[in-house]
Amino acid sequence: MSNTSHAHSHDLEEGLALTPKFDAAGLVTVVTTDVANGDVLMVAHMNEEALRNTIETGDAWYYSRSRKALWRKGESSGKTQRVVEMRMDCDQDAIWIKVEQVGGAACHTGRRSCFYRAITKGEAGAAKVSFIDADKVFDPASVYKS
Amino acid sequence: MSNTSHAHSHDLEEGLALTPKFDAAGLVTVVTTDVANGDVLMVAHMNEEALRNTIETGDAWYYSRSRKALWRKGESSGKTQRVVEMRMDCDQDAIWIKVEQVGGAACHTGRRSCFYRAITKGEAGAAKVSFIDADKVFDPASVYKS
């Protein structure tokens, strides 16, 4: 956060203790970028166990809010993420990991990144959405068997 | 999200309508990166009004959860953010903006990025935290008058 008008904790911001501020659901937000080009691949969440597993193994683990389950990225698709660098933010409620994306695609839609649509200002100030970097690296139907 | 084992909405993922999935508090998560080098500057939130203002004005607006207020980034510090590109993710609950960071610092601690601490694996697998890119661009005490 870049918040200015409330009290900040000096220890939280300037300390070298890992004291994540998990939310009411026990999660912190995670931003995952591609170490090859800096692009944001996905935004997801980690609970305490996912964070610990990620630090210990060097593979990206998340917590799926919809499935309510710990999840090693790529465990079903094979498209794992190798963590090259991990950082935390000033108030310790967000994590940034730079990863090597195995298989070249992070998104379940088959695309490299989950961010494959741009928002621009259209007619009369209304929002306009268009595809950008939206080529599919793989066919989801052939990767995810149900 | 890169979630695989639940139903996905085709319209939400493949459509060109901007239909953000605001959470219970009316917010979406925003990742802000520096267009100059791709670094993640901050993770914050937008409500509907902040999103609309950002699209319309080209400046980054957020919603502060702690202050419970709409907030134009830099309105007190002068360190505004000019949006160069804006994207949304597959399930439309996260936004990625690439910005030109005016004044060279996004973090209220005076640093360029809020992510100025690295997490690594220390002794016996425990987490180790260390400063990285942690030089202060400005002195917060001289910028934020209370």
State the Cα–Cα distance between residues A66 and B3, nearest whole angstrom: 8
Cβ neighbours of A43 in B, within 8 Å: 1, 29, 31, 89, 94, 96
CA nearest to A77 within chain B: B4
| Contact call for A96 and B40, based on CB within 8 A | yes
State the Cα–Cα distance between residues A10 and B141, nearest whole angstrom: 13
Instruction: Please report the domains of chain A, with CATH numbers, ordered by start residue.
Output: 3-109 (3.10.20.810)
pLDDT at B146 over 60: no
Q: Is the ipTM, as predicted for this complex, more than 0.95?
A: no
More confident residue, B37 or A145: B37
Q: How far is A45 from chain B (nearest CA, A)?
A: 9
pLDDT at B103 over 70: yes
Task: Determine which of A4, A55, A70 to mutate to test the interface with B (most B C-beta atoms within 10 Å).
Answer: A4
For residue B112, what pLDDT is reported? 97
The strands making up B81-88's β-sheet, listed across from edge to edge, are A127-131, A117-121, B81-88, B94-101, B28-34, B40-46
Q: Is B107 annotated as a binding residue?
A: yes
Closest to A3 (Cβ–Cβ): which among B58, B66, B88?
B66
Q: How far is B116 from chain A (nearest CA, A)?
A: 7
- Exposed, middle or buried: residue A121 (CB in 10 Å: 0-12, 13-18, 19+)? middle
pLDDT tens digits for B114-137? 999 999 998 887 899 999 999 999
In this structure, are residues A142 and A136 in contact, taking their beta carbons and an 8 Å threshold? no
Position B23, amino acid = D
Closest to B3 (Cβ–Cβ): which among A67, A120, A129?
A67
Closest to B43 (Cβ–Cβ): which among A39, A89, A106?
A89
CA nearest to B10 within chain A: A109
Place B139 in a pLDDT band, splitting at 50, 70 and 90: very high
What average pLDDT does the structure give for chain B? 93
At B81, list the tokens: 């953010």
State the Cα–Cα distance between residues A109 and A63, nearest whole angstrom: 19
Cβ neighbours of B15 in A, within 8 Å: 129
State the Cα–Cα distance between residues B94 and B40, nearest whole angstrom: 14
Quote the percentage of chain B above a pLDDT of 90. 85
| Residues in chain A with pLDDT values less than 70 | 1-7, 145-146
For residue A5, what pLDDT is reported? 41
Low-confidence winner among A53-67, B2-16, B55-69 (lowest mean pLDDT) = B2-16
